[in-house]
Structures are given as C-alpha cells and as structure tokens.
Structure 1
Amino acid sequence: MPVSEGRRLLASIHDVGPGSEREVDKLAGLLTDTLRCSRFAMLVVPDHWGRHPIRPGTPFANRLKAWSDSGIEMFVHGWYHRDTAEHHGLAGLKARYMTASEGEFLGLSYTEAARRMEDGRALVEDIIGRKSAGFIAPAWLYGPGAIHALRDSSFDIVEDHMKVWIPQTGRVVARGPVITWASRSTARTASSLAFAALARQALHPLRTVRVAVHPGDVSKEEILSSIEKTLRCFAGRRAAGSYRSLLDQRI
C-alpha cells in the first residue's frame, strides 16, 4: 500500500536510562528493524527513581550521544520519574491507579517543576551536544505547576496521552491517543493488547499516529509481537517521522 503524503508515524521509547539499557537496546533494535530507519524518539530519565543517574562522560552517556547522532530524537522525561507528592481528589486517583507512583510531575509546584525541567534539559543537551526535542512528563501527567512551568520553558514540544502541543502558545499540532502497552498485570496487558488491535483498524484516518514502548514491554512476548504488528501496520501507510516535523504543521 502506498505511503500517504503528510501522514506520520511517531514512535518512541520511554524511560531511557542506565538501569534500562538492555531493554532499550532490544526495543531500539525492534524499532529500527521494523521502521527500517532510526526516525524515532527516546525519552530520557536523568536519574530514574534516584537509583540510576546519568553522568556525562560515562559509557551510557556516550551511547545517548551516539543514538542522537544517528538521528534519534531525545526528549527530557522528568528527572526521577517517581512521584513522591501527596495527592487528593482526582489527582490522587490518577496517581494511585494509573501510574504506579510514577507520575512525577502531577503534584509538583511551579518552582520545583521548572527546576527539574531545566536541570534535565541542561544534562541531556550537554551530553548530546544539541537541543533536546522537547519535554514529556512521566506517565503523560501534568499538574498545574508543571503546565505553568512549561509555558515559561524553552522546550519546543510537549505531549500527553491525547495530543502534542507547543507549550508557550498552547497550539496543538497533533491529536489522537497514544498506542502503548502495559506489562504490570495480566489484566492490563490484555486490555492494552485489545486497544492496540482496535487502533490498527481505527486510527488510520489520523494525520499523526503515535506509538510508545517501555522497557517493561520486553518481558512479554505477546507485547513485543503486538508492537511489531502495530508498527508494520502503520508504517505501511505512512512515513516514520520526527516530532520536530510537527512544528510547521497546523491541524
């Protein structure tokens, strides 16, 4: 089937850091082989759960630089990824049931959110030697403090579950749900596999389709199979693209 002009497939690997290097390697190989290129993104966590810091000059930092040099976009993906704030009401439900305590930016103040964003940006850009592609909060969750901090930031692009936007202006440059998978439980895995199957049928009309994979996905062969099937399905009808290419697009 011919590739549709102007339609994009945006693929990304989340939670990239020294503690997930083996899993990221496997996912990067899967994406590169399936898409036949390195046009995808990596979401970098500077110090995952406070246990896996990325330090300039280390072998892992050198790998990030090499991946970036190959054309892979690098996003700042929080700082710790872990959510340690206290939440109430709807935010409490999201933090407890949707994220397994990984929605780091859901409860941060403006000042703390801005500090972690800037520290993450400085670290990633120092390592890769170029501007980062943007910022994506862990679990795609943003509290009021994070949204405010993003408006004052220098990041070009931000995304959540349902859209991609320019934070300084709020202009939306892509809409539609992210296709992603869950490996934490049998029920969550089954639900995510079902959604991916539905998405392969229903999301073709979208101008931009987003697919996101996580290190935990490599633990289940049925998830890896679904990822490959989903990527092949969409790559057959649209080009693998970059998030930066959205900056000149209006919807």
Structure 2
Amino acid sequence: MDRTASPSPAHSDKRRLLVSIHDVSPRSESQVDRLAELIERHTGPARFAMLVIPDHWREAPIAGNAAFATRLRGWADAGIEMFLHGWSHRDETPATEGLAGFKGKHMTAGEGEFLNLPPSEALVRMREGRDLLEDILGRPVTGFIAPAWLYGEGAHAALRALGLPLAEDHMKVWRPTTGEVVARGPVVTWASRSKGRIASSLAFARLARTVLPLALPTLRLAVHPGDTTVPALMDSIDRTLARFVRSHAPARYAELGSSG
C-alpha cells in the first residue's frame, strides 16, 4: 500500500513541513528506526532529514563501521536528506561565563559542541565530518546543523569558509554563504532528560499544534532518539505530525527558496 501523504486542499506550494531525526549514529540505530516508522506514517516514505554524528561522544565512530555506512547510504538513496550534525556532539571546550556559558549550562546537557570552538577547530571538524559523510553517501550533504542548535562565532566562520548549503538553529534556516534566511519560526522538539523538560516540551507542542500552523508558512519538527523512551513524548509527536500534515505538505530542506 502506498503510504505517501497527499497534500490536502489546505496545502499550498509555500506551506511546508520539515521533519528531522537528530543524533543518528550507530548507538541510536534502533531508536532511529522507530522514529522513522512513526514519521513515515504521516509524511510518506523519505520525506524527512537525518542529522548524522560522525563519532557520537567519541564512542561510536562511523568510520570503519561498514554495516552502518551501508544503512546511511541506503537511507540517502531512498531520498532522505542527510545533514552533518557536529563531530562528537560533546562540548569539549565549555564556556563558563557570559552568554555562551549560560547557553551551555541551560540549553543542553554538555552537548553544545560548536558553541565555544575556535574557528580553526570548528573548520577541521566540519570539513572532516563533511568529507566522511559525502564519501559514504556518494552525494553532498544537505548542510550542517550544530548539536543542540548552538553556534559560536567559530562555527559561523567555519560554515562560511566551507560554503555548506544550509544551516539551522532554533529559530531559522539560513544559507551560510549569503546569510539569507529561508525559513523562520521555532522548531518544535521534545526533551526527555528530566520530568520538568518532558512536561514543558509537551506543553509547547500542544500550543504549537494550535498556533503555528496558522502563523507560519514553514513548520519544523525535530525528534531525538531519547524521545522513544517516553510514551507520552511519542504520543505527542504522533499528534503533532497529524496536525501539521493537515495544513503543510511534507517537504525537503533543499526545496526551500527565498526567504520564508
């Protein structure tokens, strides 16, 4: 049976839904499969992106893992967009003061890898990660998304230097080479690492289902392997996808045109 989602009459060419699975690595393969199955029930096959970590916490290298490389290549061949998602996803240069210190402490659990890297190190990690993935995939990556959506000046400089096509943070998608913003609005995501964060993400998703489809031409929804450990989060993701596809057509990041 063809499960490809057909746009409803409410869809238009500029009303898009972008869905992504974060933290794709050998250590999350089974959770990624569960999330992909859930997403495809609403979007149809391969209408989402994967964010791939080359060596998750320096404990799960893709290099040398032929079986996982084959899976990545198969997903990409099926049409799933592939983003580079840091190198290790671990903050190895944590800031202790200022705005960077606040973000590192309160917006992630030690995973803001690119928040405080100097430009030279950010460039090395981005270049090596891009080259590794593109060699495996046999095609260019769609872009780069920093772990926890957190970028420092070094990360921005590296993005510009490498000329990667797209980047994304909490509030926008942009072209690093020109600075052009191609989608605006908050990404809807969930957090599983504490009861408080679970409750707040469930509340935000309920609000998002009511407000965002009426307000934004481009909706973004992101899920993480940890979401699969909390039934309430999986139910919320299911409900949010069901609402969003009623008004916005599942789309690819590469389809984004001028400012949206």
Shorter chain as normaliser: what TM range? over 0.9
Match of 2:84 in 1: 76
Match of 2:4 in 1: none
Assess, with a 3 A threshold, how the Cα gap between structure 1 residues 69 and 3 changes in structure 2: closer, same or farther: farther
Q: Is the 8 A contact 1:35 1:232 kept in 2?
A: no
Aligned residue pairs, count: 250
Match of 2:71 in 1: 63
1:98-143 CA-to-partner distances (Å, cap 9, x unmatched) read 1100000001000000110000100111111101000000000000
Q: Distance in 2 between matches of 1:116 and 1:84?
A: 12
2:70 counterpart SS class: helix
Q: Distance in 1 between matches of 2:91 and 2:149?
A: 12
Equivalent runs, 1:1-251 vs 2, <5 Å: 2-5=9-12, 6-55=14-63, 58-87=66-95, 88-204=97-213, 205-246=215-256, 248-251=257-260
Q: Is the 8 A contact 1:56 1:127 kept in 2?
A: no
1:40-77 CA-to-partner distances (Å, cap 9, x unmatched) read 00000000000000025611110000000111000000
Q: Distance in 2 between matches of 1:56 and 1:106?
A: 28
Moved more, 32-41 or 73-82: 32-41
Q: Distance in 1 between matches of 2:92 and 2:259?
A: 37
Instruction: Give the unaligned 5+ runs of structure 1.
Output: none
User: Amino acid of the residue matched to residue 114 of structure 2?
Assistant: F
Moved more, 95-104 or 42-51: 95-104
Q: Distance in 2 between matches of 1:74 and 1:36?
A: 17
1:167-219 CA-to-partner distances (Å, cap 9, x unmatched) read 01100000000000000001100000000000001101201000000000000
Instruction: Give the unaligned 5+ runs of structure 2.
Output: 1-7
TM-score of the two chains, using structure 1 as the length reference: 0.97
Q: Distance in 1 between matches of 2:108 and 2:94?
A: 14
TM-score of the two chains, using structure 2 as the length reference: 0.94
Q: Is the 8 A contact 2:25 2:54 kept in 1?
A: yes
Q: Is the 8 A contact 1:108 1:145 kept in 2?
A: yes
2:179 counterpart SS class: coil
Q: Distance in 2 between matches of 1:218 and 1:74?
A: 21
Assess, with a 3 A threshold, how the Cα gap between structure 1 residues 57 and 217 changes in structure 2: closer, same or farther: closer
- Moved runs in structure 1, 4+ residues, more than 6 A? none
2:141 counterpart SS class: coil
